[in-house]
A and B are shown apart, each in its own frame.
Chain A
Amino acid sequence: MSEQKTSTWSPSSREIERRALNRAINRKKAALAAVSCFLVLGTLALILVTSPGWETVKRTFFDIEYGREVLPTVIKGLWINLQLTIIGGAAIGAIALGLALIRITKAPALTPFRILATAYVDIFRGAPLILIILLVGFGVPALGLKGVTSNVIFLGTVAVVLTYSAYVAEVIRSGILSIHPSQRAAARSLGLTSGQTMRFVVLPQAIRRVVPPLLNDFVSLLKDTGLVSILGVTDAVRAAQINASRTFNYTPYVVAAALFLLITIPLTRYTDRAIRKRMNSQNSEGAI
């Protein structure tokens, strides 16, 4: 039936006219955008390259030869950042989930743990990450405890995990609290225990809901692993710093920044898309 309808339908002369007009309007808009971009961006580029200091800027920040020379060491450093991010990320996920669940639970026996978890989150969410890194990275070895490593990569990771677990715990907790109480009521009235309700009904929905903010935190984590360089870990930042201070040419920093961006920009774009998709599907979730 419907196939027949579409095959016999042909646009009216008015519709054909309208389409031609719309095409003309769109062409005009595109042309205007192109001209405007050319003028504004072209002028900015022209001002930049003709300004008196441009040659110095180019030499100090964008020395292609030197950039190529330091690229392998900076990439080697970035590999450390990536490893830190992946291993740290897994640890953060597990600890944060535990913290969030402890803070949510109402079991009276767990009250002391709830107090501890709340204090933990308050402290590590509120203190600057760099202080935690200094405290753990330099402070723990200074204790001279037997059996405790003084490996700065390990201690740096611990510091980052401690801080990010607090951030991520709050994201997960907000996700859990955002699930409508009627979902819990439905699950409990089916006879599910509070633990089963959390595991099979609340948590799966909560985690789905907080994927975009978690991806944001993941990008931040990758960037913030650069801070462990202050402990002397030869990550991308440190590798760039060593080279820059050797020659007083700052191209290595730009190379390191470009490498970070190469990873973070696709990730943030993906996050934006995930958020938009979530927004679109929100309407259909309304009734449930």
Chain B
Amino acid sequence: MSNVLELKNLRKSFDGEVVLHDLSLEIPEHTATVLIGASGSGKSTLLRCINLLEDIDDGQILLDGQEISDPFVDVDLIRRRLGMVFQSFNLFPHKTVLENIMLAPIKVHGKDPDIAKSDAERLLKRFDLLDKADQYPDRLSGGQQQRVAIIRSLAVNPRLLLLDEVTSALDPVLVNEVLSVVRDLKSDGMTMLIATHEMGFAAQVADQVCFLESGNIIERGNAAQVLHNPQDARTQEFLQRVHEAGRL
């Protein structure tokens, strides 16, 4: 299986404070990789670096074998191949649900507006949101907004979907409706890199789990290994704390 994404010795610091140390990771096609770790461990920074929203200090990022951390690369072209979903949804409040979804296919990919519309409607229908097509985001619940945000990033057929704690801003009842969308994508074979605090969900979808602490991958393996039989003391302690908080 070929790797969609490959990180080689990635390093990133903010104002001298190192957030990611010498981080390496491979994400094979059609697999889901889950990043776990305490807040501030570097999960979000890692996703933002991959999406070229942050400059890296050292190392390489390869997307389908192409080095995208090269200064001469056209970032707009790279971002077309990546989808990203944010913790705070970041829907465009002045556009309807349908307009939010159609914007990139029409303006970035030059899709015919009628085709973009029918494609958007098909996605909305699939995730039970068709009745919200003409609503503005502020009329939707948090869970609905996040599902729309996921659909918006799917509408451009990304090679890799980056999910940055997509349920952290939601109350527990709404968490599951968003996670079930991600499970659906997983069964479609979407390649994903997921930062999350939902360990039960991680156990269900992850082909690969990485435990991050202070910008290092401390432990890495399949879900059963890392989540149920962690070898490193720091992973054990983190999972213990999560367990006590009732999230496992």
Contact = CB atoms under 8 A, between A and B. Distances in A.
B84 A192 contact: no
Contact of B89 (A200, A208, A288): A288
Interface in A201-233: 201, 204-205, 208
B156 A191 contact: yes
Contacts of B142: 287
Interface string A182-197: 1101111111110010
B145 interface: yes
B201 interface: no
A285 interface: yes
Interface of B: 48, 51, 53, 75-77, 79-80, 82-84, 86, 88-94, 103-104, 107-109, 137-138, 142, 145, 149, 152-153, 156, 169
Nearest to A201: B92
Main secondary structure of the interface of A (DSSP, over half): helix
A190 B89 contact: no
Given A182-B86, A201-B103, A205-B93, 7 more contacts: A189-B82, A192-B104, A196-B107, A284-B138, A287-B142, A288-B91, A288-B138
B90 A288 contact: yes
A108 B188 CA distance: 43
B95 to A, nearest CB: 8
B51 A189 contact: yes
Contacts of A182: 86, 88, 90
Q: Pick from B80, B93, B104 the residue with the most CB of A within 10 Å.
A: B93
Given A185-B53, A287-B88, A190 B93 contact: no
Q: Pick from A185, A189, A201 the residue with the most CB of B within 10 Å.
A: A189
9 contacts: A182-B88, A189-B82, A190-B103, A190-B108, A190-B152, A191-B76, A191-B156, A204-B94, A285-B93
A285 B136 CA distance: 11
Q: Pick from A183, A200, A208, A288 the residue with the most CB of B within 10 Å.
A: A288
B90 A183 contact: yes
A191 B137 CA distance: 21
Contact of B94 (A186, A189, A192, A208): A208
Contacts of B53: 185, 188-189
The 10 closest A-B pairs by CB, nearest first: A186-B90, A191-B80, A190-B104, A189-B84, A191-B108, A284-B138, A191-B79, A288-B93, A182-B90, A204-B94
Contacts of B91: 186, 288
A204 B93 CA distance: 10
Contacts of B75: 188
Contact of A288 (B79, B83, B103, B137): B137
Given A188-B79, A192-B104, A285 B86 contact: no
Contacts of A192: 76, 103-104, 107-108
B79 A190 contact: yes
Given A186-B86, A288-B138, A205 B94 contact: yes
B108 A186 contact: no
Given A190-B103, A191-B104, A191-B156, A185 B90 contact: yes
A225 to B, nearest CB: 33
A191 B51 CA distance: 10
Nearest to B78: A191
A200 to B, nearest CB: 6
A288 B94 CA distance: 10
B103 to A, nearest CB: 6
A287 B168 CA distance: 13
Contacts of B82: 189
Contacts of B88: 182, 287-288
Contacts of A191: 76-77, 79-80, 104, 108-109, 156
A187 B91 CA distance: 9
Q: Pick from B82, B89, B138, B152 the residue with the most CB of A within 10 Å.
A: B138
B108 to A, nearest CB: 4
Interface string A67-79: 0000000000000
A204 B95 CA distance: 10
Nearest to A182: B90
A185 B104 contact: no
Contacts of A281: 138
B90 to A, nearest CB: 4
A201 B104 CA distance: 11
A23 B156 CA distance: 61
A277 to B, nearest CB: 14
A281 B94 CA distance: 12
A207 to B, nearest CB: 10
